[in-house]
Amino acid sequence: MSITQHIAKTIYRPGIGKLIRPISRLLFNHMNEGIAIYHTDGQLVMSNHVAEKYGFLVTAAAKDSIYPLYFKINGAIPLPSDQQPLNRLLQGEQDIVQELWLKPGEGKAGSIVRIVGKALRSFRGMPLGFMLVVHDITLSKWHEKRLEVSEQRFKSLFEHNPDMVLWFDLKGTLLSVNSAFETVTGHFASELIGHSVGELINDVEAWQLQQLLEKVHEGRTIHQETSITNKSGELVYLHATVIPIIVEEQLAGFYIVAQNVTAQKQSMETISRIAYFDSLTGLPNRHSFFETLTGTLAQCSTCIDRQFAVLFVDLDRFKLINDTLGHRAGDFLLEQTALRMGKCVGDSGTIARLSGDEFIILLNHAGAQEAEQLAGKILDEIAVPIIYDNNRLLSTASIGISLYPDHGTSSEQLIQFADIAMYRVKEQGKNNYLFFTSEMNESIVRRTTMEKQLAIALEQEQLTLFYQPQVEASTGKISGFEALVRWNMPERGLISPLEFIPLAEETGMIIQLGEWVLRRACEQHKRWIDEGLMPVTIAVNISMKQFEDDSLFETIRHILFETKLPPHLLELEITESIGLQGADQVINKLNRLKTLGVSIAIDDFGTGYSSLHYLQKLPIDTLKIDKSFIRDMINVTPDISIVHSIIRLAHSLQLDVLAEGVEVVSQLEMLAELKCERLQGYLFSRPIPAEEARVLLQRQKLDEHYR
């Protein structure tokens, strides 16, 4: 006999006041669902304990009660009478299932329930009454709602994400893409679904795809730069993140979330191309040559018998030709000289233009004999007249040669010694070549002497700081100063940092010197603030050796603590080459410095080559455009291009831009038009002593007061 039949036999019969089968009452009250039994006239005749909790009460007081109350499942709209479970059964329906919000009584919490209603009949088909079975589904409904909300959030993140999102299964087959991907590539999702990762991503070999899938199966998140081809056949460069999909602790597939970095990559390529090659001759420039030479030296460190030569070439009559026939004639001479020397060097080395009429050559796998042969060939080629606009351009060259490892084992030594030998040729009448010799080493002796004097200068406070203003391009107001060290030598007066900073770097004294500059700059600025002058940024250069020093963080922290200078007023300037050393190690060190509250600037930007992906990771605030680009931007179109590219790149990364070396109004106007925020250069002021800088701040304060 079924439970329904058991229950049916417990219905009150006319004239009988007790249950026919008491055993069914025990079963009835131990059921997990609420059971309510009604007579054919709709009178509630029995309910178990669970049903009573929902307001189904068989008591005299309950007969006139309005409870339980039925609402639609949202809990806000009452359920019409004709839609209520019992009334539907009374109206003739045999079986019903409804999900409702049920309120059992005044002051009691409602529940979401599923009510199953059934008309009860005897074995002969005679109506006996009605039964309502009440299931509490509140918890499952909340779970469903949470799942629905979660799915809606995911759909929103997927569909409306500004980045491209691709969904793959475990085999690397595309399941779906979002609208951002369709917009960027021009492909519809239906055209791509079912394709593999290798078919969608450019330059992915089978073994690389296998490695990718292995890492995904390990549950690892992967970052990489790659590219895809859009519908027009153009490359779209991406910074992609591969994210495993974990469902119930099982790997179910993976997403690729990708940013379109095409514009930024193109800007970086423009910067790289212009920064690494001479715009006039097409030769590698100084920066490119130094990188090549550094790489060659690294290779030589693992090869005992390796030799090479460095040739420093300077044209002898270039200034005369340039001054008498004009810059176009001078440029033509440089172009033709570059071509001729290139033919002489061929594939045996690298030739670069350093600046003006200076060239430098790295001759691979060469000793004195090979270097001498090349020098003679170059002299013969350059001596041949060049015809320009019916004029015979006559020029010769002076060449200095240094050999590795005979004359030096560092790039600085080899270039310096070749330069020294070249100047000795000039002194002896030009149009010749000489190898470096120890007799030419007078400059090294002077450097040794200066090294000793610099140590004394640090002890005897012979150093002083000058300050060069940095101004806002839009208002002309002073926004900061760059602190620049000068050496006031008793015998010679003020000495340029170009003479002693490289020496301090080489000897390691730069650590002590750098700490002195930081402390004095912070102390001076705090005095200005205490006098009521306008707080501005004070910028201090951090050298490579300082940055590599493990005590740099503590040094800056102590100086800020002792001087009480607000940290946000101190800007640390590092060169682009520092930013490229050691990747994650540099990022970690910069992040730690940022915790002090200071700002970070990349100095001389554009003279090195930064990975876009890496540059995005650097916690920096400002890019300072190298003055070499600003100097020639009026007359040299590529320099305008690189300045514009740097500014656009900085703004895309939400960085401030400062242009160094602004000397004329036309540069100011062009930079303002390109939306460069800050400027620095002789147009505004040369580096000046602290007292003169104080006067400028005082004047600015008065101007602000009387406006």
Domain locations along the chain: 31-142, 161-265, 277-436, 468-487+508-699
Which residues make Cβ contacts (< 8 Å) with residue 234, sequence separation at least 6?
none
Element spanning 309, H or E:
strand 308-315
Element spanning 412, H or E:
helix 411-427
Q: Which residues pair with 600 in a beta bridge?
A: 572
- Whether residue 197 is predicted with pLDDT greater than 90 in this model: the reply is no
Alpha-carbon span 540 to 462, nearest angstrom: 19
Task: Give the model's pLDDT for residue 156.
Answer: 65
Nearest CA to 40 among 93, 88, 90, 92? 90
Task: Give the model's pLDDT for residue 64.
Answer: 65
Task: Give the model's pLDDT for residue 209.
Answer: 66
Range scoring the smallest mean pLDDT among 36-45, 100-109, 608-617, 644-653: 608-617
Confidence bin at 697 (pLDDT 50/70/90): very high
Task: Give the model's pLDDT for residue 583.
Answer: 62
Alpha-carbon span 45 to 285, nearest angstrom: 101
Q: How many CA atoms lie within 13 A of 43 on its CB side?
A: 10
Neighbours of 275 (CB within 10 A): 23
Q: What is the mean pLDDT of residues 160-169?
A: 86
Q: Is 468-487+508-699 in CATH node 1.10.10.60?
A: no
When mean pLDDT is compared over 23-27, 113-117, 135-139, the highest value belongs to 113-117
Nearest CA to 610 among 630, 580, 583, 581? 580
> Looking at domain 277-436, which of 3.40.50.300, 3.20.10.10, 3.30.70.270, 3.40.50.2300 is its CATH number?
3.30.70.270
Give helix 584-594 / helix 552-563 axis angle, nearest 10°. 10
Alpha-carbon span 627 to 661, nearest angstrom: 5
Higher pLDDT, 447 or 288: 288
Q: What is the mean pLDDT of residues 91-112?
A: 84
pLDDT tens, 354-373?
A: 988 999 999 999 999 999 99
Neighbours of 582 (CB within 10 A): 13
Confidence bin at 638 (pLDDT 50/70/90): low
Count Cβ atoms within 10 A of the Cβ of residue 658 and give its class: 0-12 exposed, 13-18 middle, 19 or more buried.
buried
301 in helix, strand or coil? coil
Which residues make Cβ contacts (< 8 Å) with residue 531, sequence separation at least 6?
694
Range scoring the smallest mean pLDDT among 159-173, 327-341, 533-547: 159-173
Q: Is 161-265 in CATH node 3.30.450.20?
A: yes
Q: What is the mean pLDDT of residues 600-607?
A: 82
Task: Give the model's pLDDT for residue 152.
Answer: 65
Same fold, 31-142 and 161-265: yes
Alpha helices in 226-317 (DSSP H): 262-276, 286-300
Task: Give the model's pLDDT for residue 67.
Answer: 73
Nearest CA to 359 among 429, 282, 428, 294? 282
Which residues make Cβ contacts (< 8 Å) with residue 259, sequence separation at least 6?
163, 164, 238, 239, 240
Confidence bin at 584 (pLDDT 50/70/90): confident
- Whether residue 247 is predicted with pLDDT greater than 90 in this model: the reply is no
Range scoring the smallest mean pLDDT among 8-17, 105-114, 196-205, 560-569: 8-17
Q: What is the mean pLDDT of residues 440-463?
A: 78
Confidence bin at 244 (pLDDT 50/70/90): confident
Q: What is the mean pLDDT of residues 471-482?
A: 93
Nearest CA to 557 among 527, 528, 592? 592
Give helix 411-427 / helix 286-300 axis angle, nearest 10°. 120
For the question of whether the overall pTM of this predicted structure is more than 0.75, the answer is: no
Nearest CA to 444 among 469, 394, 398, 407? 407
CATH topology of domain 31-142: Beta-Lactamase (3.30.450)
Task: Give the model's pLDDT for residue 61.
Answer: 52
Task: Give the model's pLDDT for residue 514.
Answer: 93
